[in-house]
């Protein structure tokens, strides 16, 4: 999927929910060097890899005041399950289809982590819509934006 997609989560909460994946290493002489940034997985989202990044000031200023914490981090998502989800959205009636496993896992993660916001920026750049939604509105918002990825203006959805 050609989009920057991730979650705003408190690092203190994430530490108890995410499992670190093995890091790729190389040996240079007697020294072992880590090649990539640490990745994590969540048990209900197999096929998704998460990486933590610091919050940008742009995103911070668009979060509600009561959702701005010093330990907030951005958890970027990638993996085959996202590509499968994008294909599924394009081949199903998004208004009547049952939940895709990605949606089920995402909703479970939101529930367990108490996640405050979801960020979706097509082409990694377009982020123009700042909305408040409840958990039941997540799938509809996501489906509509993935289905119309080329026209999507992206969103930062604060979950209430």
The two tokens of residue 123 are 């082409």
Q: What is the mean pLDDT of residues 47-67?
A: 91
The pTM of this model reads 0.88
pLDDT tens-digit series, residues 71-87: 899 999 999 999 999 99
Cα 41 to Cα 17: distance, rounded to the nearest angstrom? 9
Residues in the chain: 160
Q: Please state, for a pLDDT cut of 70, what percent of the chain lies above it.
A: 99
Burial class for 42, CB neighbours closer than 10 Å (0-12, 13-18, 19+): buried
* DSSP code, position 116: -
- What pLDDT is stored for residue 105 in this prediction? 96
Cα 52 to Cα 20: distance, rounded to the nearest angstrom? 11
> pLDDT grade, residue 23 (50/70/90)?
confident
Q: Reply yes or no on whether the pLDDT at 36 is more than 90.
A: no
Identify which of 66, 61, 87, 78 has the alpha carbon closest to the alpha carbon of residue 7: 78
| Domain ranges for the chain | 3-159
* DSSP code, position 15: H
- What pLDDT is stored for residue 90 in this prediction? 95
């Amino acid at each position: 999927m050609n989009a920057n997609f991730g979650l705003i989560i408190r690092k203190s909460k994430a530490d108890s929910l995410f499992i670190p994946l093995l890091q790729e290493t190389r040996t240079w002489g007697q020294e072992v060097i880590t090649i990539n940034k640490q990745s994590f997985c969540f048990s209900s989202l197999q096929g998704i890899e998460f990486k933590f990044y610091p919050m940008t000031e742009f995103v911070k200023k668009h979060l509600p005041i009561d959702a701005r914490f010093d330990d907030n981090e951005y958890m970027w998502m990638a993996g085959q399950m996202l590509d499968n989800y994008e294909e599924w959205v394009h081949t199903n009636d998004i208004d009547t289809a049952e939940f895709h496993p990605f949606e089920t896992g995402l909703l479970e993660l939101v529930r367990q982590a108490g996640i405050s916001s979801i960020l979706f920026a097509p082409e990694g750049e377009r982020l123009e819509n700042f909305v408040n939604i409840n958990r039941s509105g997540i799938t509809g918002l996501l489906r509509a934006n993935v289905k119309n990825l080329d026209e999507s203006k992206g969103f930062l959805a604060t979950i209430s």
